[in-house]
Structure 1
Amino acid sequence: MALDAKLTPNAIRHHVAENSKMRARDLADQLGIAEAALVAAKGARRITAAPDAIMPALTACGPVMGLTRNRSVVHEKVGVYENYHPGDHAALVLTADIDLRIFQSHWVHGFAVTTETDSGPRHSLQVFDAAGDAIHKVFSRDGTNMGAFEAMIGNLATGETSDSIELSARAAVETAKADVNKADILRKEWNRMTDTHQFMRLTSKLKMNRLGAYRIAGAPLVKALAPWALNDALIALGQVDAEVLVFVGNRGCIQIHTGPLNAVKSMGPWQNVMDPDFNLHLRTDHVAEVWAVEKPTKRGFAISIEAFDQHGALILQMFGRRKENDVVDHTAAFRNLIDTLPTLHSEDA
């Protein structure tokens, strides 16, 4: 199924010319097409989407900005792409600044994109899934080795010149799955966990998913917070010296920021973190459910705030920072913050 079948590439280019200041994602949504169809129609150069080819090549480019998003939040992080670990199911980039979990089966369509801005051309490589939704983007910035960046694009180029693209239907968001008859088993096995990664295996074994499990687990493992509690938490974190891990992901990539949140600024429905090397842009009006979650590990409880949209899609997760060799354990401050957040009263559920 070609999602962009109702608009020809020429028609898409006409709309782009008429809306030259509009972001590609926003225009694609307005036109009812996939973002990848819009990028292809603009004549962007096709490149391989394979992480095993892209990630090692990025190292020579020096500092760049990596962007991972879903429908409700954009996560932007500046750093150097180093320490890449390939894998059959998942690959990793592990540095203090660029911290990625990559699920390469969803890295399907790749483009090299040049966008004209008021300050000059902006260069990027952009990867999309089979439905044409953005998985991960990398943008040049001040300090990027543009010679290496251009050489990388040349090496990644496929030679494909079509201005249209065949796309699959977008997979539906999985709604909450739970079985109240297995709630006691869930709680028992949850309390036995020694690593947060065991949680998804547990829910899969019980034929549940993350949101479904949260809805039936109960205290003290989970606490339902008011939808606006996420925004309250961001504002509060901008005013204290507590470090967090912020996870934002989609089907093909999870991007993680570790550190404080300093410059928190709202603009309309968006709440924004505008720190020098980390930006977060959250649609607060998309937040439908927020949960405070505790998962046992060998080093104590991992404490998180997790937000979902009205369809049950995970928007983001935030954890109090606690890593090996950290001088300061920030989980206590994070727990204290959670205790101040508004809860969801039973009559609101």
Structure 2
Amino acid sequence: MHSLLEKKQNLLAEKQPPRAREAARRLGVSEAEYVALSCPGSATALDALSFSELLLELHRLGEVMVLTRNDTAVMEHYGVYANPKLRHGSVAILNNPDIDLRLRLGQFKWAFAVNENSRLSLQFFDRYGSAVHKIYLTSKSDSQVFSTLLNRFKTECFMPEPEPSVRQLASEEIRLSSEQRRDLLADWQAIDNAHQVNGLLKKHAVTRPQIYQLLEEGAEQLALGSVKALMESISERKIPVLIFVPNGVVTQIHNGRLHKLVETGPWFNVLDKRFNFHLNLQGVKQAWIVEKPTEQGVTRSVEWFDDEHNPVAMLYLHSDCRADRQMTDAWENALSALERLDGPVTENFVSHGGRR
């Protein structure tokens, strides 16, 4: 423990200290363990049994910056953490224009209040020790409320013991009999709401790209150059969109247009006044256009995936614009202009094989 803490302090003393996610990797620990190394001190452990109660109090902080990320995309919004709706005690939903979130509280395992050189935050972690959601105070936040909440929800220091995360190789062959393939496609055709897709994935033990590879119609794979091209087109055409960034526990959603685009190395960034989006282009390994049913009829989304078939981000025309012919035409024109993948799609299925 002492050795790890010393190594952490050495990292923080570097001229350009790495961010916590990278620093944890360099130390060979999870990010939750990395943060806990500073408890007590610049990190304070929070009571896991009170996470939902804590979320209901966060509006008192005033303006905050909320951050949700996966390995490839980072989304940040500024606003008030207002009106979270709790469902069944394990799911929280915020439906605000500036902060739009879906949180699976049942998968929050640990949390810490963190002071990074006077930058205050609340950081939440899953059972693997991955940071799934962070809430930062801004110059407009009420730091006194933060102190009050910290005193109310703090608990004794501990060292998290994350579960090992098993890397799923999505490139591994999935064997489906002709019957299984037929059943999967029948279930897809029976979907009447996009939210039902997750249940279908679980039932058939497949990923979204694996389903899309089977669809003769309704899914087209895009060249990877389309990722950057789409964001530029959305910005140029001033198209309001919905962008979903999930990590399996929290999904953060952007509602609106993209303005200031900046490319820095492998990162393609949106640097707007109250919204930032950072996308590592090298981490996107598949891109698809997919037709899916919604409450307003069939719509087309663009979906990006990493090398394990985990969703990086999903983009839709904003629901408020789907009755606007000018905006729907602009969205369809933007999609039509994207480069399709040359050659056949790499199949991860064997339809004549045995059972999975």
Global fold match (TM > 0.5): yes
Whether the 8 Å contact between 2:31 and 2:129 is mirrored in structure 1 is yes
Whether the 8 Å contact between 2:11 and 2:17 is mirrored in structure 1 is no
Residue-by-residue CA offset, 1:65-112 (whole Å, 9 max, x unaligned): 110001111110111111211123432122111111111222111111
Tell me which moved more, 138-147 or 297-306.
297-306
Residue-by-residue CA offset, 1:158-185 (whole Å, 9 max, x unaligned): 1x134x4322212434737674734454
Aligned equivalent of 1:271: 268
Aligned equivalent of 1:36: 32
- The Cα of 1:9 is off from its aligned counterpart by 3.1
Distance 1:165 1:72, change over 3 A: same
Counterpart-to-counterpart distance in 1, 2:169 and 2:91: 21
- The Cα of 1:310 is off from its aligned counterpart by 1.5
Counterpart-to-counterpart distance in 2, 1:31 and 1:19: 18
Distance 1:47 1:178, change over 3 A: farther
1:90 matches 2:91: yes
Whether the 8 Å contact between 2:208 and 2:309 is mirrored in structure 1 is no
- The Cα of 1:151 is off from its aligned counterpart by 1.4
- The one of 314, 324, 335 equivalent to 2:332 is 335
- The Cα of 1:6 is off from its aligned counterpart by 11
1:235 matches 2:232: yes
Counterpart-to-counterpart distance in 1, 2:315 and 2:96: 18
What percent identity do the matched residue pairs reach?
A: 29
Distance 1:329 1:323, change over 3 A: farther
- The one of 290, 295, 317 equivalent to 2:287 is 290
Whether the 8 Å contact between 1:72 and 1:315 is mirrored in structure 2 is yes
Aligned equivalent of 2:349: none
Whether the 8 Å contact between 1:192 and 1:296 is mirrored in structure 2 is no
What secondary structure does 2:36 align onto? helix
1:199 matches 2:194: no
Counterpart-to-counterpart distance in 1, 2:329 and 2:200: 26
Following superposition of structure 1 onto structure 2, how do residues 21-60 of structure 1 map, counting pairs within 5 Å? 21-43=17-39, 44-49=43-48, 50-60=50-60
Counterpart-to-counterpart distance in 2, 1:81 and 1:173: 34
Aligned equivalent of 1:247: 244
- The Cα of 1:259 is off from its aligned counterpart by 0.4
Whether the 8 Å contact between 1:190 and 1:295 is mirrored in structure 2 is no
1:208 matches 2:210: no
Aligned equivalent of 1:76: 76
Whether the 8 Å contact between 2:237 and 2:330 is mirrored in structure 1 is no
Residue-by-residue CA offset, 1:281-314 (whole Å, 9 max, x unaligned): 1100111100001112341222211111122221
**Equivalent residue letter for 1:322:** S
- The Cα of 1:39 is off from its aligned counterpart by 1.0
Once superposed, what is the RMSD of the aligned Cα atoms? Answer: 2.5
What secondary structure does 2:213 align onto? helix
Counterpart-to-counterpart distance in 1, 2:193 and 2:106: 25
Whether the 8 Å contact between 1:112 and 1:153 is mirrored in structure 2 is yes
Aligned equivalent of 2:350: none
- The Cα of 1:325 is off from its aligned counterpart by 10
What secondary structure does 1:148 align onto? helix
**Equivalent residue letter for 2:268:** Q
TM-score, structure 2 as length reference:
0.87
- The Cα of 1:209 is off from its aligned counterpart by 2.8
Aligned equivalent of 2:106: 105
Residue-by-residue CA offset, 1:180-230 (whole Å, 9 max, x unaligned): 7344544444344321112222333344332211111132x1110011211
What secondary structure does 2:233 align onto? helix
**Equivalent residue letter for 1:48:** D
Residue-by-residue CA offset, 1:123-176 (whole Å, 9 max, x unaligned): 100011122110100001121122222212221211x134x4322212434737
**Equivalent residue letter for 2:304:** A
1:169 matches 2:164: yes
Distance 1:80 1:174, change over 3 A: farther
- The Cα of 1:53 is off from its aligned counterpart by 2.0
Distance 1:256 1:31, change over 3 A: same
Counterpart-to-counterpart distance in 2, 1:19 and 1:45: 26
What secondary structure does 1:273 align onto? strand
Residue-by-residue CA offset, 1:229-270 (whole Å, 9 max, x unaligned): 111111211212101111111121111011001111100000
Whether the 8 Å contact between 1:245 and 1:321 is mirrored in structure 2 is yes
What secondary structure does 2:140 align onto? coil
Name stretches of at least 5 consecutive residues in structure 1 with no aligned partner: none
What secondary structure does 1:137 align onto? strand
How many residue pairs end up in the alignment? 338
